[in-house]
Amino acid sequence: MTQRVALATVMDRLAIDAVITGYAVAVDDGAWSDYGALFTPDGRADYRSAGGGEGPAGEIARWLEETMRLFPVRQHLIVNRRIDLEDLGGYPGDRAEVRADYLNPMCLERKAAGGPDADAPGDAGSGRAGRATPGFVTGGRYTFELQRAEPGWLIRTVTVHEKWRRAPGA
């Protein structure tokens, strides 16, 4: 592998990592147009193992938008990312697969300010009404298939493999 190919491979890995991070941020922030922009025109998402649907990314974005209204506070953590780039005899191709674990705490509501779970001293002026209590936490693994396109790397498919779910007090 030449130095130029090695550099291109590193750049591809960084770009793919940015797409995966963008996915988590879009879902957590409810930025559904950003979510859709991460996919190829024929992109698909499969959330069946987490109780959702499977279909074109645009349809799934609408389902997520409706479903995530129940959880105004959410924080996706996508970790242990394994990026496998297509290998064309020592040169990177235009396809990649990412397998990455996730931890996803979601909160049904925030506690009122001044309550037992309210902002701690030093949080004054943070703009937060109070701390949120997780409604439940899920964990599992994502499988992303990505494709290089004119604007850069895009998600062709994402599949959620939920492994566990826990409600507080369970």
Helix (H) or strand (E) holding 94: strand 92-110
10 CB contacts (<8 Å, ≥6 apart)?
A: none
d(CA 95, CA 99): 14
Whether 114 shows a pLDDT value over 80: the answer reads no
137's tokens: 């936490």
- Domain of residue 45 covers 3-166
Kindly report which listed range (14-28, 62-76, 120-134) carries the lowest average pLDDT score: 120-134
The pLDDT value given to residue 55: 98
Burial of 28 (0-12, 13-18, 19+ CB in 10 A): middle
The pLDDT value given to residue 1: 65
What band does 133 get if pLDDT is binned at 50, 70 and 90? low
CATH number (domain holding residue 59):
3.10.450.50
d(CA 40, CA 64): 18
Burial of 169 (0-12, 13-18, 19+ CB in 10 A): exposed
> Structurally, how many domains does the chain consist of?
1
pLDDT tens, residue by residue, 121-130 = 334 334 444 5
From residue 91, alpha-carbon distances to 87, 96, 98, 148, 152 in Å are 6, 13, 18, 14, 17
What band does 120 get if pLDDT is binned at 50, 70 and 90? very low
- As beta bridge partners, residue 98 has 83, 144
Whether 39 shows a pLDDT value over 50: the answer reads yes
Whether 32 shows a pLDDT value over 50: the answer reads yes
Q: Strand, helix or coil at 17?
A: helix
The pLDDT value given to residue 118: 43
Whether 143 shows a pLDDT value over 50: the answer reads yes
The pLDDT value given to residue 2: 85
The mean pLDDT value for 54-82 works out to 94
What band does 131 get if pLDDT is binned at 50, 70 and 90? low
What band does 70 get if pLDDT is binned at 50, 70 and 90? confident
Q: What residue has token string 């701690």?
A: 120
Instruction: Quickly count: other Cβ atoms within 10 Å of residue 167's Cβ.
Output: 9
What band does 132 get if pLDDT is binned at 50, 70 and 90? low
